[in-house]
Chains A and B, each alone.
Chain A
Amino acid sequence: MFRKEKQWPSLAFMITTLVLFMILGGRLFYLQIVKGDYYRGLSSQNHIRVVTKPAPRGLISDRNGVVLADSRPSFIVTAIPSEFDSTNTEQVASLLGITEETLSGILSQASSVPHRPVVLSTSMSVEDVSSIAECIYCIPGILIDVAPQRRYHRPDDFCHIIGYVGLSDDPESFRGEITGRTGIEFSLNETLRGSPGLHREVVDAMGRVVEEYKGTDSDEPVPGKNVVITIDAELQRTALEHLVKTTLPGAVVIIDYVTGDILCAASSPSFDSNMFSRGITRDEWDALLQNPANPLYCRAWTASYPPASTFKIITAYWLIAEGLINENTMPAPCYGSLTLGDTEFGCWTAHGRLNIIQSLARSCDVFFYRTSQLGSLNELAEYAEFFGLGSRLTEILTDERSGLVPDSDYFNSAYGPDGWGLGNLLNISIGQGELLTTPLQMAAMTGVIASRGQMPLPCLILQREEMEPFFPAEVCDDTAFDVVTEGMLQTVISRRGTLYGVFSDFPWDFWGKTGTAECSGEDHAIVVGFSREPEPVVICVIIEHGGHGGSVAGPVARDILLSYFERSD
């Protein structure tokens, strides 16, 4: 290397570095000489405090624009441990109505980050604050801040769908920030929360704000985005009222089978989600947990039940679509039971000789015991999965259960290869045994029949784009759809149908299927069905321990749809 060659690089090195160092020197001159007095003043008497300004959480409204969740102004009292003088502990504790031990406990927990405010008291109203503000303002290190509090307008109707919020315990969030705990508040938390703003204030030794800090700009909070859900709030209220009238726990799911919109998902009993916004007390929380009916539990999708005879919709579809029987096949008559080996499989009455449509309408078990032996368990399980059973239907409902569709692998691992047999298939064919479904899945299964396979997956967030059907196109079978639809119509209109008479005053056509799920105690009453006019909806009603599906759940379904249709007419 020749020295001449390095003349340019060394010049580049020296000039670049000189310029960079002069930038540093210039900045130092600005900070130390030009603004030196300002900063010296700051550092000797005052200091900088960074205050978080919470962002307003997004609104949640129903499909018609009814606001279901918004925020109302409320106040929180916070303390900055590094500024707080412990001789004031007694006074502050008495003003806030907490014990001194609680207060010093809160403060000592936060001592690792002494400049960050800790929350002492939340959700105080204007009246609460004004009575103590005067005294508290003179105490160094205690701040009163505005913090929007979540307000639910129909807390009982929407406690399971929207869920509730609580104080965030994420170490990266600021003290007092609320975060979604359950439901949509939880799953769409990132959308709803927005981002908090930061104000930098210069405060004096007493903790009073002297001025805004002039060094860096403040960041304004960015409000959270609004969310519109597919639920019809009026329908939701009607459904919950009818459920409450039965005095039994239960659920109602109503879905628009053309769009997949979930119009109603009521679960009874419910609870007041505003309890969580204002800070739930120990007693209230214990009462919720110890209530035997478990109000925290969303029966529309977190509970799973045996589908009982409503599952015959799938069994019948499978039998026809796979060509195992046709609509005229009449196996041996039903004498009230079928004996297989030394086990007796019962039916609820002796039906005699029936075809498949009559068997659906009168809900004959023996017909399905006899015919399902023509196929295999795994085929039937596969069809159940086509209809949406055995897996979660939504992504957004984090507490949705998948239910259970047992196949041979399941039985092999549960009972061993020799521990099960044809009897298990017979039980599954009428919706009993290990089979478990959520009311949401039962409604979706009915929707496949109503839409002739065209229904998209159920959704809870309103979107205008068209979605793909979830039922595979290659198993769509016109004859099978016709047979099941006719069976569901005969259930309602034929004299011996299980829903006969229930819908006699109903001015529109209704296709239905009942189920009576055997369980310990009184049976669960289930009804599923759909109407095409005036609105294309499917409905699933389940009343826990209600008894017979047709006579208990049927009228509930009818009354809910009646008031919904009369309103939309």
Chain B
Amino acid sequence: MRGVIDLIGRDRPDMVFLIALLVLFLIGMAAVYSASTVISESGLFGKQVTWSIFGLIAFLLGTIISLRRLEEISPIAYAFICLLLIVTLFIGSGPANRWLIIGPIHLQPSEISKAGLILVTAWWLASQKVRPRKFGEILIFLTVIPVVVLTAIQPDLGTAVSMLLIVLAMFVWAGYGGGWIMLLVSPILAAVSSMNILLWLGFMMILITILYRRKYPLPMWIVFMGGNSIVAALTPMAWNMLKPYQQSRLITFLNPSNDPHGSGWNIIQSEVAVGSGGLSGQGFLQGAQKELAFLPARHTDFVFSVWAEETGFIGCLILLTAFFILFWRMVIAARKSVNPFNSLVAAGAAAYIGIHVFVNVGMTLGIMPVTGLPLPLISYGGSQLVTVLFLLGLVLNAGMYWREV
């Protein structure tokens, strides 16, 4: 029992959290090692080890940094990341121009920007909590839009959508209800639902229900009903004005990692790899499918397939359980934290983990579309590893200093 005076004292680090993290980290190293044995590019595993050292430094930095100081510099850090993304847009290189190469270091700014996004959203939401501004929420969205748009035009629609989902999850954490979120994203839903009249009617009924229950005045009704009707009317017109080849080019542009032939070759091979793992897998380094040069991204986006083939259902359950425990401990840390900023950062990081795991693993199992989202802690890639470990360090930090106001 600590005394009352020890209000801002420090708790022990969350051991369950650390063990889950260690398990995932080791799985990641093993999976990258296994995948790298059949990759012609040499030294992949060595590079990943090097990046892990940087990741460890980032993790330690996250645990000891003053969260108050971090909150103060959040907007500046965010502005810096925006700049980095703009620079990448012009001098980016590598596949899809997503890379920024500075000497020996290859950075993927869209990965780093996810951390910036979480920090700036936490900062805005926390200050909105303390000193509510009129239309403050709109301002928050205006702040995050540049990063989302810059990512979408890289082009990396999958990452851009995942960023929006993280921000929305943080709004939910800050106490905004489902109806409120619904109104916020209603233009996107209007555009999507305009493809089918029944979908559109359903959407309008939900909209009316929300507006009625929230007892909005007439002008708000006009804005939401009218605005969304206009969006829904214009979307098919704009789409039909495009020629068929322009439509398919637009789809390819929005989702370049999608197989241009639509053959789903990658997905089929991934399904076969996962399925052939069976209950206990074919044994570490024994995977047969990974030998075939079928996946260009078997050490990055499709690393889960390698793990599933070699360790089977049991290995997959260990991985998913470890992720779930990690997520659970992150939510606990977020819930414990008294300070709104700390709490929101932990919640945002938890949403980051949850969304990435579901989208990436879902993709390798053929139930989610093909996007370029990596599997946190497991996929090969330095930017991602360092970003995730830094965020996890912050969560551990927030959990230890939960009393801080």
- Find A50's partner among B263, B331, B336, B354 (CB 8 Å cutoff): B263
Among the listed stretches A30-38, A231-239, A505-513, which one makes contact with chain B, having 4 or more residues with CB under 8 Å of it?
A30-38
* Interchain CB contact under 8 A, A13 and B264: no
Given the interface contacts A32-B274, A43-B288, does A25 sit within 8 Å of B265 by beta carbon? Answer: no
B173 in the interface, Cβ–Cβ < 8 Å? yes
Asked whether any CB of chain A lies closer than 8 Å to the CB of B216, the reply is no
CA distance A12 to B347 in the complex (A): 12
Contact flag A50-B313 (CB < 8 Å), given A3-B335, A28-B365 = no
Q: Flag if B354 contacts A216 (CB, 8 Å).
A: no
Is B275's beta carbon under 8 Å from chain A?
yes
A29 to B314, CA, bound (A): 10
Q: Mark B345-366, 1 if CB is under 8 A from A, else 0.
A: 0010011001001100110011
* Chief secondary structure at chain B's binding surface: helix
CB-CB contacts of A34-48 with B at 8 A, as 1s and 0s?
Answer: 011111101110011
CA distance A277 to B174 in the complex (A): 66
Closest chain B CB from A100 CB (angstroms): 26
Chain B residues positioned under 8 Å from A36 (CB to CB): 275-279, 313
B338 within 8 A of A: yes
Q: A17-B354, A25-B317 are in contact. Are A47 and B347 (CB under 8 A)?
A: no
Selected from A14, A33, A48, the residue in CB contact (under 8 A) with B313 is A33
Contact call A40/B278, Cβ cutoff below 8 A: yes
A40 to B280 alpha-carbon distance, docked (Å): 12
Q: In the complex, what distance in Å separates the CA atom of A39 from the CA atom of B337?
A: 47
Q: Are A9 and B173 in contact (CB under 8 A)?
A: yes
B268 with A13: CB separation less than 8 A: no
Residue B261 contacts which of A40, A48, A172 (CB distance < 8 angstroms)?
A: A172
Question: In the assembled complex, how far is the CB of residue B307 from the closest CB belonging to chain A, in whole angstroms?
Answer: 11
Q: Is B327 an interface residue (CB 8 A)?
A: yes
Residue A465 at the chain B interface, CB threshold 8 Å: no
Given known pairs A6-B335, A24-B358, the reply for A32 and B275 (CB within 8 Å) is yes
A331 within 8 A of partner (CB) = no
- Contacting pair B276 A40 (CB below 8 A): yes
- Shortest Cβ distance from residue A45 to the other chain B in the assembled complex, whole angstroms: 10
Judged by a CB distance under 8 angstroms, whether A288 is at the interface is no
Give the CA-CA distance A84 to B328 in the complex, in Å: 51
Q: How far is the CB of A115 from chain B (nearest CB, A)?
A: 7
Given the contacts A25-B317, A28-B365, A115-B265, A48 and B272 also touching, CB distance less than 8 Å: yes
Q: Output the least CB separation between A37 and chain B (Å).
A: 8
Q: B163 near A: Cβ within 8 Å?
A: no
Known contacts A13-B331, A24-B365, A33-B279; is A50 also within 8 Å of B265 by CB? yes
Taking a contact as CB atoms under 8 Å apart, the answer to whether B276 and A33 are in contact is: no
CB A471 to nearest CB in B, in angstroms, measures 29
Residues from chain B with a CB closer than 8 A to the CB of A374 are: none
A18 within 8 A of B: yes
Of residues 282 to 297 in B, which have CB atoms within 8 Å of A's CB atoms?
288-289, 292-294
Docked CA distance A102–B356 (Å): 48
Within 8 A of A (CB), among B247-271: 260-265, 267-269, 271
Is B340 interfacial (CB 8 A cutoff)? yes
> Are A35 and B336 also in contact (CB < 8 A) when A24-B358, A215-B268 are?
no
Q: Take A24-B358, A24-B365, A198-B263 as given contacts and tell me if A32 and B294 are in contact as well, using a CB distance cutoff of 8 Å.
A: no
Assess the A219–B275 pair: CB atoms within 8 A. Answer: no
- Whole-angstrom distance between the Cβ of A168 and the nearest chain B Cβ: 13
Q: Which residue of B has the minimal Cβ distance to A1?
A: B340
User: Which residues between 61 and 78 of chain A lie within 8 Å of chain B, taking CB atoms?
Assistant: none
| Residue on A nearest B361 in the bound complex, by CB | A24
A5 sits at the interface (CB 8 A): yes
* Docked complex Cα distance between A33 and B312 (Å): 9
Contact (Cβ within 8 A) B292 A32: no
Are B328 and A198 neighbours in the complex by a CB distance under 8 Å?
A: no
Give the CA-CA distance A492 to B277 in the complex, in Å.
89
- Residues of chain A with a CB closer than 8 A to B117's CB: none
- For residue B320, which residues in chain A have a CB less than 8 angstroms away from its CB? 21, 24-25, 28
Q: How far is the CA of A28 from the CA of B316 in the complex (A)?
A: 8
Among B276, B279, B289, B293, residue most surrounded by chain A Cβ atoms (within 10 Å):
B276
Q: What chain B residues lie within 8 Å of A25 (beta carbons)?
A: 317, 320
Q: How large is the interface on A (under 10, 10 to 19, 20 to 34, 35 or more residues)?
A: 35 or more
Q: What is the distance, in angstroms, from B245's C-beta to the closest C-beta of chain A?
A: 5
A383 touches B (CB below 8 Å): no
Main secondary structure of the interface of A (DSSP, over half): helix
Query: Within the assembled complex, what's the spacing in Å between the Cα atoms of A37 and B278?
Result: 7
**Is A94 an interface position by the 8 A CB rule?**
no
B243 interface hit (Cβ, 8 Å): yes
Q: B317 contacts A27, CB within 8 Å?
A: no
Residues of chain B contacted by A43 (CB below 8 angstroms): 272-273, 275-276, 288-289
Residue of A nearest to B338 (CB): A1
Who on chain B is nearest to A46 by CB? B272
Interface residues of A in 190-244 (CB under 8 A from B): 190, 198, 200, 213, 215-216, 219
Please tell me if the beta carbons of B294 and A13 are within 8 angstroms of each other in the complex.
no
Contact of B272 among A10, A33, A42, A50 (CB under 8 A): A42
Q: Within 8 Å of chain A (Cβ to Cβ): is B308?
A: yes
Contact partners of B242 in chain A: CB under 8 A: none
Name B292's contact: one of A13, A28, A47 (CB within 8 Å).
A47
Please report the C-alpha to C-alpha distance between residue A279 and residue B150 in the assembled complex, in whole angstroms.
Answer: 47
Query: Chain A residue with minimal CB distance to B126?
Result: A1
Q: Is the CB of B324 within 8 A of A21?
A: yes
Q: How many Å from the CB of B317 to the closest CB on chain A?
A: 7
Using A24-B320, A29-B313 as known contacts, say yes or no to A44 and B276 having CB atoms under 8 A apart. Answer: yes
Q: Are B347 and A24 in contact (CB under 8 A)?
A: no
Does B234 sit at the interface, judged by CB under 8 A? no
Binding site for A on B (CB under 8 A): 129, 169, 172-175, 243-245, 260-265, 267-269, 271-279, 288-289, 292-294, 308, 312-313, 316-317, 320, 323-324, 327-328, 331, 334-340, 343, 347, 350-351, 354, 357-358, 361-362, 365-367
Contacts A14-B328, A20-B354, A42-B272 given; 19 further ones with Cβ under 8 A?
A1-B129, A9-B174, A10-B335, A13-B347, A21-B324, A24-B357, A24-B362, A27-B365, A28-B313, A31-B274, A32-B274, A33-B279, A33-B313, A36-B278, A40-B275, A44-B276, A50-B261, A50-B265, A213-B268
A-B contact pairs, 12 of them (CB 8 A): A1-B339, A10-B331, A12-B172, A13-B172, A17-B358, A24-B362, A27-B365, A28-B316, A43-B273, A43-B276, A190-B244, A216-B366
Instruction: Point out residues on A near B: beta carbons under 8 Å.
Output: 1, 3, 5-6, 9-10, 12-14, 16-18, 20-21, 23-25, 27-29, 31-33, 35-40, 42-44, 47-48, 50, 52, 114-115, 172, 174, 190, 198, 200, 213, 215-216, 219
Give 7 nearest A-B pairs by CB, closest first.
A39-B275, A36-B278, A43-B276, A31-B275, A32-B313, A40-B276, A39-B276
